[in-house]
Amino acid sequence: MDIASYEAYCFDLDGTVLIGDQLLAGVVETVAELRRRDRRVLFLTNSSVHTPRDCQRRLEHMGLACGEDEILTALYVSGSYFAREEPEARVYLVGEAVMRRQMEESGVAVTGDPEEATHVLVGMDRNFNYEKLVLGMRAARRGARLVAVNPDPVCPVPGGYIPDTWAIVKALETAAGTEAELVIGKPSPYYAQEALRMLAHPPEHCLMVGDRLETDILMGNRCGMQTALVLTGVSTRADIARQQILPGYVLDSLADLFNK
Amino acid sequence: MDIASYEAYCFDLDGTVLIGDQLLAGVVETVAELRRRDRRVLFLTNSSVHTPRDCQRRLEHMGLACGEDEILTALYVSGSYFAREEPEARVYLVGEAVMRRQMEESGVAVTGDPEEATHVLVGMDRNFNYEKLVLGMRAARRGARLVAVNPDPVCPVPGGYIPDTWAIVKALETAAGTEAELVIGKPSPYYAQEALRMLAHPPEHCLMVGDRLETDILMGNRCGMQTALVLTGVSTRADIARQQILPGYVLDSLADLFNK
């Protein structure tokens, strides 16, 4: 099938659409062409520190206009998970202040008391410290279930990486003597379901475009989307054989979507 | 062999000799009886936040007099490891201030620059935070080798637990995409060697007494000491079958050493 002829296109953000505060080459033109052809566009990120509105503003600021309903963040999906699947939950948060904002917007009951929490939701936290580790551990040791916003060990930033959610999850798991029961972000089926719901097209008519085999491409493959790896981020052509995760297409950059 | 007839006796501290700031029942009398019989006594702890001198003062304050040469801490063994085995190391520390003091006393070169570190030594750190995670990760990603002072996920305190070294190690491993290459504390062979050096008796003449099967008893069994589990701390009689780590003796408390 011609890569330009799907009904809907999902784009990962970091490494696919942007790096740091810069859009990658060809992104604006590619998205404009998709809109001209009336295709559904959805931007997907595993971020645990951004709401869809945060991402919309960030993209707009870089020169890419889009709607809030064209963006899915793992933090948003976490809120929607609890609201839909665990309406009785009282969630203790280990993460940045924005997590509380998203949970409130999603109608999730948040508790500041580890003793009464039913779940501990863990995200990346650039203000993480020992006291937060103690309190999260205490909640988990009292039976609260550990949920990770995403499974990313690090987050790429210009010049390298910073520790992401999974590093904090591992500290908590170790102290609590337990394991995270659920991971929300890509490549989880829960994230895929939420994306497909928003796309409103059958998966086989959707193309998932991303730079990471083990999150973007794996999730797309698992949920029946077609997939395209772009080489502007983490994974390389050599990784495809090594990791045995096969994308349907390989693109040097998003600019190649209509020039292939 | 009669449990009272060994040449040398090693005692774990937390859960065996003391809990919190209190000596356990029978400890003072048992140690006094061993001294009267001229037996070598050694106190062993996996603490990464105490030097032998710290422990000596702590024990004295609780009413148990002993010498600095009768105490081995995992922090001390870490210093002695680097001084002996890695004399060229420049060690970046993730831990509390006392770690730097111990390394300096042991003659180990410490660096505050993650870019020039050859090793990252990780201990329990009640002031751990995201910035320390970032800097430790950076050192490890540049090739510095991760070394853990001890493998303890938590440290027992009155009323529960607080996160110990291994929780911090797991966060660093995850962010750095690597694994700790060496663990110094019990049950490591390095710790056992250091204990046997200090005991100055062949292992078969030494009795290792502790409350944890997977650290105290495992280490004793592996290095050829005889072992005794006391039931005043973490492990129970039921754990013996479950964990398949067999102590030579089981004591309700240290008071039973001469009353068995």
Name the CATH code of domain B85-183 (choices 3.40.50.1000, 2.60.40.10, 3.30.210.10, 3.30.43.10): 3.40.50.1000
Among the residue ranges A21-25, A113-117, A166-170, B89-93, the one predicted with the least confidence is A21-25
CA distance A103 to A87: 12
Task: Determine the residue type at A105.
Answer: E
Residues of B within 8 A of A175 (CB-CB) are 153-154, 161, 163-164, 167
Is A175 within 8 Å of B167 when comparing Cβ atoms?
Answer: yes
**Contact status of A117 with chain B (Cβ, < 8 Å):** no
Mean pLDDT, residues A57-82 taken together: 97
Is B127 within 8 Å of A128 when comparing Cβ atoms?
Answer: no
Instruction: Give start-end residues of each CATH 3.40.50.1000 domain in chain B.
Output: 8-46+189-258, 85-183
Question: How far A4 CA lies from chain B's nearest CA (Å)?
Answer: 37
Q: Quick one: what percent of chain B has pLDDT higher than 70?
A: 100
Residues of A carrying an active site annotation: 12, 14
Q: Quick one: what percent of chain A has pLDDT higher than 90?
A: 94
Mean pLDDT, residues A53-70 taken together: 96
- Residue B255, CA distances (Å) to B46, B85, B138 in order: 23, 39, 49
Query: Which positions 174-203 of A are in contact with B (Cβ < 8 Å)?
Result: 174-175, 177
Mean pLDDT, residues B136-156 taken together: 96
pLDDT tens for residues B165-180? 999 999 999 999 999 9
Question: How far B229 CA lies from chain A's nearest CA (Å)?
Answer: 23
**Residue B54 catalytic?**
no
Chain center to CA of B246: 20
Q: What top-level class would CATH report for the domain A87-183?
A: alpha beta
Q: Using the Cα atoms of residue B221, residue B227, residue B232 and residue B235 in order, give the sign of their dihedral.
A: positive
Is A125 within 8 Å of B130 when comparing Cβ atoms?
Answer: yes
Can you say whether residue B38 is alpha, beta or left, with left for phi > 0 and alpha for psi between -120 and 50 degrees? left
Confidence of residue A160 (pLDDT cuts 50, 70, 90): confident
CA distance B165 to B149: 7
**What length is written for chain B?**
260
Is A129 within 8 Å of B129 when comparing Cβ atoms?
Answer: yes
CA distance A35 to A57: 19
Q: Is residue B121 a contact partner of residue B94, using CB atoms and an 8 Å limit?
A: yes
**Contact status of A160 with chain B (Cβ, < 8 Å):** yes
Q: Peptide bond before B153: cis, by omega within 30 degrees of 0? A: no
DSSP per-residue codes, B139-199: HHHTTPEEEES---SEEEETTEEEE-HHHHHHHHHHHHT----EE-STT-HHHHHHHHHHH
Among the residue ranges A64-73, A144-153, A237-246, B151-160, the one predicted with the least confidence is B151-160
**Contact status of B129 with chain A (Cβ, < 8 Å):** yes
Mean pLDDT, residues A222-246 taken together: 95
Active-site residue, selected from the candidate residues B2, B14, B239, B252: B14
Active-site residue, selected from the candidate residues B2, B12, B38, B125: B12
The predicted pLDDT at position A258 comes to 87
Select from A134, A166, A170 the Cβ nearest to the Cβ of B162: A134
The predicted pLDDT at position A260 comes to 61
Mean pLDDT, residues A130-150 taken together: 98
**HSE on the CB side for A57, CA within 13 Å?**
4
Instruction: Give start-end residues of each CATH 3.40.50.1000 domain in chain A.
Output: 8-46+186-257, 87-183
Question: How far B88 CA lies from chain A's nearest CA (Å)?
Answer: 28
DSSP per-residue codes, A42-91: EEEE--SS--HHHHHHHHHHHT----GGGEEEHHHHHHHHHHHH-TT-EE
Is A163 within 8 Å of B128 when comparing Cβ atoms?
Answer: no
Residue A158 has pLDDT above 90, yes or no: no
Residues of B within 8 A of A168 (CB-CB) are 171
Q: Is residue A66 a contact partner of residue A118, using CB atoms and an 8 Å limit?
A: no
Confidence of residue A159 (pLDDT cuts 50, 70, 90): confident
Mean pLDDT, residues A206-232 taken together: 97
Q: What top-level class would CATH report for the domain A8-46+186-257?
A: alpha beta
pLDDT tens for residues B38-93? 999 999 999 999 999 999 999 999 999 999 999 999 999 999 999 999 999 999 99
Q: What is the ipTM of this complex?
A: 0.93
Select from A163, A172, A175 the Cβ nearest to the Cβ of B133: A163
Cα angle, residue A180 at apex, residues A175 and A182 outer, rounded to 5°: 165
Q: Quick one: what percent of chain A has pLDDT higher than 70?
A: 100
Q: Quick one: what percent of chain B has pLDDT higher than 90?
A: 94
- Residue A83, CA distances (Å) to A76, A80, A89, A169, B67 in order: 11, 5, 9, 22, 60
The predicted pLDDT at position B158 comes to 82
Secondary structure (3-state) at A110: strand
Largest Cα span, chain A? 57
Task: Kindly report the average pLDDT of chain B as a whole number.
Answer: 96
The predicted pLDDT at position B260 comes to 61
Fold of B8-46+189-258: Rossmann fold (3.40.50)
User: Across the strands, what pairs with B119?
Assistant: B91, B145
Q: Using the Cα atoms of residue B214, residue B218, residue B220 and residue B225 in order, give the sign of their dihedral.
A: positive
Q: Is residue A156 a contact partner of residue A15, using CB atoms and an 8 Å limit?
A: yes
Select from A128, A133, A174 the Cβ nearest to the Cβ of B166: A174
Task: Kindly report the average pLDDT of chain A as a whole number.
Answer: 96
Select from B160, B163, B166 the Cβ nearest to the Cβ of A133: B163
Looking up tokens 């395209």, which residue turns up? A228
CA distance B177 to B196: 35
**HSE on the CB side for A226, CA within 13 Å?**
17
Residues of A within 8 A of B128 (CB-CB) are 129-130, 133
